[in-house]
Amino acid sequence: MSFTVKEISPAGAAEITNFDGRVRINDEDMARLRDVFQASPILCIRDQTLTPTEQANFSRQWGPLEKQDRSTFCHPDDADILILSNERRADGSQVGIVDAGDFWHSDSSHLEEPCGITMLFAVKNPDKGGDTHFINLYQAYDALPESLKARIVGRNAVHHISKTLNPRVTVSSERLGAAEYYKSQEKAKKPISQPMVRTHPVTGRQALYISPRFTIGIEGMDDAEAQPLLDDLFRHMFSNTAWQYTHKWKDGDLVFWDNACLNHMAGGGYEYPDTRRMHRTTIAGQKAFYRAS
């Protein structure tokens, strides 16, 4: 396949055209795609027409898929596809997850082995809103003052799924039962340690690996010291739009990104009956680590 690659943001996004995701990728093309993905950890393949099974097949070529734990919202045609949507059925029930990713995060950093790559296929975009925002955390780390680097290199932060343990986030009132769910997770899930500076397993580059959504503390540090330090780090992360990219979706976009070196967030800004529907697959990652460069 002779596809075309074009950088669309210096924050690490590239667009691929003349590519058919339904066709099995040959070894040469896969090697080229993986090289592109190392340089641009946000890739958008335009103009795709993927059934759930075709999307799952495309995704599996990048590695083993994660099992989706919210089976209510898995696609009936392929259980590896999770539906993100604000659509409602005639009885008022929700078709997919409504408020997925409404705060900055790296996918499933609250797990021992966080997600590697996330893939979203845009089936239907709303007339307005629905953007996805990204921050390149290689770039944010590189620009971090040495004094701050020295305080976090080799240290672990504490990540947790429960929103009710995290004063930096709120629970959406649109999602029925969410407050009770997050309350129940406070004790049901154990806190997970993650390196604050993460060495990328493929590129070897260092990246900040914290997020407002999942990072709730720093291991071995009192909150009196840890919370202001996290505030400083988050302020730094959001201080420069040069590290940020906002994806404005077109129907048929297949966008995938590398969770080891990015934070992302769903921008919202649309309301039912203006509908947004995405099909998501996630590719397994590996335990995060820090290795001195």
User: Site residues for Fe ion, window 112-141 (CB under 5 A)?
Assistant: none
Of 15, 66, 107, 253, the one binding Fe ion (CB under 5 A) is 107
Residue 82's contacts (CB-CB under 8 Å, 6 or more residues apart) are: 68, 70, 73, 74, 75, 96, 97, 279, 280, 281, 282
Residue nearer to Fe ion on the CB measure, 107 or 253: 107
Distance (Å, rounded) from C-alpha 207 to C-alpha 223? 23
Cβ 228 to Fe ion, closest distance in Å?
27
Closest CB to Fe ion: residue number: 101
Q: Which residues are bridge partners to 193 per DSSP?
A: 158
The least distance separating Fe ion from the CB of residue 99, rounded to whole angstroms, comes to 11
Nearer to Fe ion, 157 or 262 (CB): 262
Give the count of residues interacting with Fe ion (CB under 5 A): 2
Minimum Å gap between C-beta 101 and Fe ion is 4
To the nearest whole angstrom, how small is the minimum distance from the Cβ of residue 106 to Fe ion?
A: 8
Site for Fe ion in 239-268 (CB under 5 A): none
Q: Which of residues 77-106 bind Fe ion (CB under 5 A)?
A: 101
Site string for Fe ion, 52-71 (x = CB under 5 A): --------------------
Of 101 and 130, nearer to Fe ion (C-beta) is: 101
Least separation, in Å, of the C-beta of 115 and Fe ion?
8
Alpha helices, DSSP H, located in 71-193? 137-142, 146-152, 178-188
CB of 66 to Fe ion, least distance (A): 12
- Tell me how long the chain is: 293
Q: Please provide residue 183's backbone torsions phi and psi, each rounded to the nearest 5 degrees.
A: -60, -45
Largest CA distance in the chain: 57
Report the nearest approach of Fe ion to the CB of residue 264 (Å): 6
CA angle (11, 152, 138) in 5-degree steps? 15
* Strand locations in the chain (E): 4-9, 13-17, 42-45, 74-75, 78-85, 115-124, 132-136, 156-159, 192-195, 197-199, 206-208, 215-218, 244-247, 254-258, 262-266, 277-284
Q: Are 140 and 242 in contact (CB under 8 A)?
A: no
CB proximity list for 134: less than 8 A, separation 6 or greater: 11, 12, 13, 42, 244, 245, 246, 247, 257, 262, 263, 264
- Residue with Cβ nearer Fe ion (57 or 282): 282
Give me the least distance between CB of 62 and Fe ion, in Å please: 17
Please identify, using beta-carbon distances, which residue of 156 and 259 lies nearer to Fe ion: 259
Question: In terms of CB distance, is 66 or 107 closer to Fe ion?
Answer: 107
Query: Do 103 and 212 touch, CB atoms closer than 8 A?
Result: yes
Contacts to Fe ion by CB under 5 A: 101, 107
